[in-house]
Amino acid sequence: MLDQKSWYLKMLLWRQRNISEKQFLLILSFIIGLLCAFAGVVLKEIIHFIQRLLTDHFSVDGANYLYLLYPVIGIFLTGLFIRYVIRDNVSHGVTRILYAIARGNNRIKFHNTYSSVVASAITIGFGGSVGAESPIVYTGAAIGSNVGNFFRLGPKRLLLLIGCGAAGAVAGVFKAPIAGLVFVLEVLMIDLTMTSILPLLISSVTAATVSYIIYGSQATFAFNYTDPFILHRIPYVLILGILCGLMSLYFTKSMSWLEGVFNKIKNPYKKLALGGVILSVLIFLFPPLFGEGYDSITAIINSNPQKLLDGSPFYFANDNFWLFTIFVLAITMFKVFASTATNGGGGCGGIFAPSLFLGCLTGFVYATILNYFFPEVDASEKNFALMGMAGIMSGVMHAPLTGIFLIAELTGGYSLFLPLMVVSISAYATIKIFEPNNIYAIRLAQKGELLTHHKDKAVLTLLNTESVIEKDFQVVTPEMYLGDLVRVIAQAKRNIFPVVSDDNTLLGAVIMDDIRNIMFRPELYNRFQVGKLMITYPQVIDINDSMEKVMKAFDEQALWNLPVVDKGKYVGFVSKSKIFTAYREVLMEYSED
The tens-digit pLDDT sequence of the chain (593 residues) is 445 567 778 887 888 888 888 889 999 999 999 999 999 999 999 999 999 999 888 877 777 888 889 999 999 999 899 888 888 777 777 777 777 776 666 778 888 889 999 999 999 999 999 988 889 999 999 999 999 888 888 777 888 899 899 999 999 998 889 989 888 888 876 665 667 789 999 999 999 999 999 988 887 777 776 677 787 889 999 999 999 999 999 999 999 899 889 988 888 889 999 999 999 999 999 999 998 888 899 899 888 888 888 888 888 777 788 899 999 999 999 999 999 999 888 888 888 899 999 999 999 999 999 999 988 888 889 889 999 999 999 999 888 999 999 888 888 767 788 899 999 999 999 999 998 887 877 766 555 555 544 444 555 555 566 667 888 888 899 889 989 888 888 888 888 899 998 888 888 888 888 888 888 888 888 888 888 888 887 778 888 777 667 777 777 766 778 888 888 889 888 887 676 666 555 555 544 44
Domain membership flag for residue 226: no
Given a contact cutoff of 8 angstroms between Cβ atoms, the answer to whether 362 and 388 are in contact is: yes
Give the H/E segment covering residue 571.
strand 569-575
Given a contact cutoff of 8 angstroms between Cβ atoms, the answer to whether 562 and 439 are in contact is: no
Counting the structural domains of the chain, the total is: 3
On whether both 289 and 163 belong to a single domain, the answer is no
Exposure on the CB side of residue 89, measured as CA atoms within 13 A: 10
Closest CA to 505 of 480, 540, 468: 540
Please tell me the predicted confidence (pLDDT) of residue 88: 79
Return left, alpha or beta for 407; rule: phi > 0 is left, psi -120 to 50 is alpha, else beta.
alpha
Closest CA to 180 of 193, 195, 199, 155: 199
Distance of CA 294 to the CA centre of its chain: 22
> Please, what is the Cα angle at 473 between 472 and 475, to 5 degrees?
130
Domain membership flag for residue 351: yes
Given a contact cutoff of 8 angstroms between Cβ atoms, the answer to whether 140 and 350 are in contact is: no
On whether both 295 and 439 belong to a single domain, the answer is yes
Given a contact cutoff of 8 angstroms between Cβ atoms, the answer to whether 96 and 138 are in contact is: yes
Give the H/E segment covering residue 498.
strand 496-500
Q: Rounded CA gap, 338 and 291, in Å?
A: 10
Q: Which residues pair with residue 10 across a beta bridge?
A: none
On whether both 463 and 448 belong to a single domain, the answer is no
Please tell me the predicted confidence (pLDDT) of residue 340: 93
Domain membership flag for residue 222: no
On whether both 379 and 469 belong to a single domain, the answer is no
Distance of CA 326 to the CA centre of its chain: 33
Q: Which domain holds residue 536?
A: 458-590
On whether both 350 and 380 belong to a single domain, the answer is yes
On whether both 393 and 491 belong to a single domain, the answer is no
Given a contact cutoff of 8 angstroms between Cβ atoms, the answer to whether 71 and 273 are in contact is: no
Q: Are strands 506-511 and 496-500 parallel, antiparallel or unpaired?
A: antiparallel
Where does a domain end: 185, 215, 245? 215
Domain membership flag for residue 341: yes
> Please, what is the Cα angle at 223 between 246 and 406, to 5 degrees?
50
On whether both 478 and 576 belong to a single domain, the answer is yes
Where does a domain end: 432, 452, 472? 452
Given a contact cutoff of 8 angstroms between Cβ atoms, the answer to whether 43 and 115 are in contact is: no
On whether both 298 and 375 belong to a single domain, the answer is yes
Q: Are strands 541-542 and 506-511 parallel, antiparallel or unpaired?
A: unpaired
Domain membership flag for residue 269: yes
On whether both 300 and 198 belong to a single domain, the answer is no
Q: What CATH number should be reported for the domain holding residue 462? A: 3.10.580.10
Please tell me the predicted confidence (pLDDT) of residue 473: 87
Long-range own/partner contacts, residues 55-60 (CB < 8 A, 24 or more apart)? 55/290, 58/311, 59/311, 60/310, 60/311, 60/315
Question: In this structure, which amino acid lies at residue 144?
Answer: G
Q: What CATH number should be reported for the domain holding residue 189? A: 1.10.3080.10
Domain membership flag for residue 220: no
Please tell me the predicted confidence (pLDDT) of residue 338: 94
Q: CA separation (Å) from 459 to 102, 400, 446?
A: 9, 25, 17
Q: Rounded CA gap, 181 and 170, in Å?
A: 8
On whether both 182 and 39 belong to a single domain, the answer is yes
Question: In this structure, which amino acid lies at residue 292?
Answer: E
Give the count of beta carbons closer than 10 Å to the beta carbon of residue 269.
Answer: 12
**pTM of structure:** 0.76
Q: CA separation (Å) from 93 to 61, 139, 182, 392?
A: 37, 8, 18, 20
On whether both 259 and 408 belong to a single domain, the answer is yes
Exposure on the CB side of residue 336, measured as CA atoms within 13 A: 20
Numbers of helices and strands, H then E, in the chain: 24, 5
Q: Rounded CA gap, 549 and 564, in Å?
A: 13
Q: Rounded CA gap, 298 and 87, in Å?
A: 37
**Longest Cα separation, the chain:** 102
Where does a domain end: 420, 452, 484? 452
Q: Rounded CA gap, 151 and 168, in Å?
A: 20
On whether both 146 and 294 belong to a single domain, the answer is no
Domain membership flag for residue 224: no
Give the count of beta carbons closer than 10 Å to the beta carbon of residue 44.
Answer: 20
Domain membership flag for residue 311: yes
